[in-house]
Amino acid sequence: MSASVTVRVPAKVNVQLAVGGARPDGFHDLANVFLAVGLYDEVTVTPSPDGALRITCEGPDADQVPLDESNLAARAALALAARHGRPADVHLHIAKDIPVAGGMAGGSADGAAALLACDVLWGTNTPRPELLTLCAELGSDVPFSLLGGAALGTGRGELLTPLPVGGDFTWVFATAHGGLSTPAVYREFDRLWEGRPVAQPAASPALLDALRAGDTAALAETLANDLQPAALSLFPSLADTLAAGTDAGALAALVSGSGPTTAFLTKDTSAAERVASALLASGTCRAARVAPSPAPGATVITTGE
């Protein structure tokens, strides 16, 4: 058995997030087109010397990451241990590069990575469909972090159909000063729609065609996020960030998921670098990062003694 396993896991952007009305269980039905992007966390698991579940984190935002059992990585280790009737006796170390509370599924990514890493460390060889079911129990976005690439998520986002992607897309992601709570953004969505019928969410055929063709200009025309008005209502200054990016030549700009990270689709890497510099110079964001897509899902990168 390996004495340590490291899994690399990507962030995501929702190129389409169509949101339906609130369901009786409090969740919203979605047509959620996920695209994995090349910003990564790495989760390393090692046997814990005293048998207790322990979690540590490094990275620029490490102080914002909970180090108790509210962390999805810890919950993933506990869920897999329970499934196999064994103790969750691991030290989980997260090297965090995905923005925290940013709408890029960073917490979900760590959950998927911890699940895969523990499965390899413990030699439990859980079948892939069962890993995906465990992911769905941890959170709506967790199965996609395991899968990567691009996928349509229906239900509350956890029922995945992989999507073909015919080329690369280059993004800039601008992190905000502060975070947004996903439940708060969905509550604001409900408040903004109160008394009005919400359409049944459906994936856009034009957007799926753009992904399949690898056509950046067509994707830029079809990007859509139904949570954007709610995120802007709670975080109005994001409008300035979106405008700064489009003024600098981004083909399209949108809030990533529930925000407050904003996403800018660009023609190529040099355009992306210009947009990132202009965003930083505008003073409307905390940082701006260039990232390619699509990116692979959670992947074991090292196993060691």
Backbone φ/ψ region at 257: left (φ over 0), alpha (ψ -120 to 50), beta: left
Query: Is 197 in a helix, a strand, or coil?
Result: coil
Q: Does 157 bind ligand C5P (CB under 6 A)?
A: yes
Question: Near ligand C5P by CB under 6 A, which window of 79-87, 182-190, 276-284, 292-300?
Answer: 182-190
Give the interface size with ligand C5P as a residue count (CB under 6 A). 12
**Min separation Cβ 225 and ligand C5P, Å:** 13
Q: Does 140 bind ligand C5P (CB under 6 A)?
A: yes
Q: Does 266 bind ligand C5P (CB under 6 A)?
A: no
**Min separation Cβ 224 and ligand C5P, Å:** 16
Say which residue the tokens 């369901």 belong to: 23
Residues 12, 41, 119, 226: which is the catalytic one? 12
Torsion sign (Cα): 205, 209, 212, 218: negative
Catalytic status, residue 96: no
Angle between helices 106-122 and 128-138 (to 10 degrees): 140
Q: How many whole angstroms separate alpha carbon 245 and alpha carbon 277?
A: 10
Select from 8, 12, 28, 289 the one that contacts ligand C5P (CB under 6 A): 28
Query: Is 12 in a helix, a strand, or coil?
Result: strand
Residue 293 CB partners (closer than 8 Å, separation 6+): 13, 35, 36, 37, 38, 165, 168, 169, 170, 171
Question: Near ligand C5P by CB under 6 A, which window of 7-15, 25-33, 195-203, 225-233?
Answer: 25-33
Select from 4, 27, 59, 218 the one that contacts ligand C5P (CB under 6 A): 27
Q: Does 141 bind ligand C5P (CB under 6 A)?
A: yes
Residues 29, 41, 61, 141: which is the catalytic one? 141
Select from 6, 126, 154, 182 the one that contacts ligand C5P (CB under 6 A): 182
Q: With contact defined as beta carbons under 8 Å apart, do 261 and 104 qualify?
A: yes
Q: Where is 168: in which H helix or E strand? A: none
In the complex, which residues of this chain contact ligand C5P (CB under 6 A)?
Answer: 26-28, 30, 139-141, 156-157, 182-183, 186
